């Protein structure tokens, strides 16, 4: 399974390095065979020669150039980063990233062979509008995306579940995941208020191949427990 931490705008570089070292120690001392990904804040990227895969939360589709405030390929290459998060709801909704821009990013980093964690998910109004309208909304987020790309991972994150403590029911998560698996066979993660208290149940669902965790991942012990759950489920 794939257990991923999105650290968002938290942790300095020093704190991030300590965090990654703690995860790496856990993974090594417990012979964990799950894939563990961490997405630090952009200025906290560093050389991390560990078993933890470090990715960037964002980058512009460019090698370098005049794009104030953005990272380019050279900044990722400096730290051998080959993994990127694209389409997170905070990028879509707070920063207004359009599907067109996301497709450009996707294609640029796909051509470079990056592992891409591509996020989709509906706002509350779409969820409340019924399944058909909700699925239409989510389907539009697949437009222009190569769903057969070999290094693709998809994360289903309902916007209303992110950082709110609210989650869909387990049945609803399984239901949406089953529908999304029809669109792409890529590993499919669930994200949105995953905590140490619900991670095991979520990870046990059909068509859930892992989790993408925000706030709860900031506690290394909690995140390590989630890694352990995934390991136990796979060992059984
Ligand atoms: P929370 O786990 O804080 O709800 O955030 C989820 C998320 O956005 C992960 O990308």
pLDDT for 91-121, tens place per residue? 999 999 999 999 999 999 999 999 999 999 9
Handedness of CA 201, 202, 206, 212 (dihedral sign): negative
Let me know if 157 is a catalytic residue.
Answer: yes
Q: How much is the pLDDT for 153? A: 99
* Ligand 1 mean position, distance from CA 220 (Å): 15
pLDDT for 8-67, tens place per residue? 999 999 999 999 999 999 999 999 999 999 999 999 999 989 999 999 999 999 999 999
Q: How much is the pLDDT for 37? A: 98
* Ligand 1 mean position, distance from CA 223 (Å): 13
Nearest CA to ligand 1 atom 1: 214
| Per-residue confidence band for 213, with pLDDT thresholds at 50, 70 and 90 | very high
Answering whether pTM is above 0.95, one says yes
* Ligand 1 mean position, distance from CA 39 (Å): 12
Where helices occur in the chain by DSSP H, the ranges are 13-29, 73-77, 89-93, 99-111, 124-128, 131-140, 170-181, 199-203, 220-235
Let me know if 171 is a catalytic residue.
Answer: no
Q: Ligand 1 pocket, 92 CB below 6 A?
A: no
Q: How much is the pLDDT for 48? A: 87
Domains annotated on the chain, with CATH: 2-235 (3.20.20.70)
Whether pLDDT at 84 is above 90: yes
């Amino acid at each position: 399974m794939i257990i991923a931490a999105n650290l968002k705008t938290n942790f300095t570089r020093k704190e991030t390095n300590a965090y990654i070292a703690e995860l790496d120690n856990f993974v090594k001392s417990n012979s964990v065979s799950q894939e563990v990904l961490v997405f630090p804040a952009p200025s906290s990227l560093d050389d991390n020669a560990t078993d933890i895969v470090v990715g960037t939360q964002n980058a512009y589709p460019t090698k370098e150039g005049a794009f104030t405030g953005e990272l380019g390929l050279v900044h990722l290459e400096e730290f051998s980063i080959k993994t990127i998060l694209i389409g997170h709801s905070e990028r879509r909704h707070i920063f207004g990233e359009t599907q067109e821009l996301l497709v450009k990013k996707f294609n640029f980093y796909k051509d470079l062979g990056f592992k891409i964690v591509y996020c989709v998910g509906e706002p509350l109004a779409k969820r409340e509008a019924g399944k058909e309208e909700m699925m239409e909304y989510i389907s539009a987020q697949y437009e222009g995306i190569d769903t057969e790309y070999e290094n693709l991972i998809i994360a289903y994150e309902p916007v209303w579940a992110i950082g709110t403590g609210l989650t869909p029911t387990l049945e609803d998560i399984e239901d949406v995941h089953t529908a999304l698996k029809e669109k792409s066979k890529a590993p499919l993660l669930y994200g949105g208020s995953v905590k140490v208290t619900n991670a095991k149940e979520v990870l046990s669902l059909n068509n859930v191949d892992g989790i993408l965790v925000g706030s709860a991942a900031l506690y290394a012990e909690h995140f390590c427990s989630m890694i352990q759950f995934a390991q136990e489920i796979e060992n059984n």
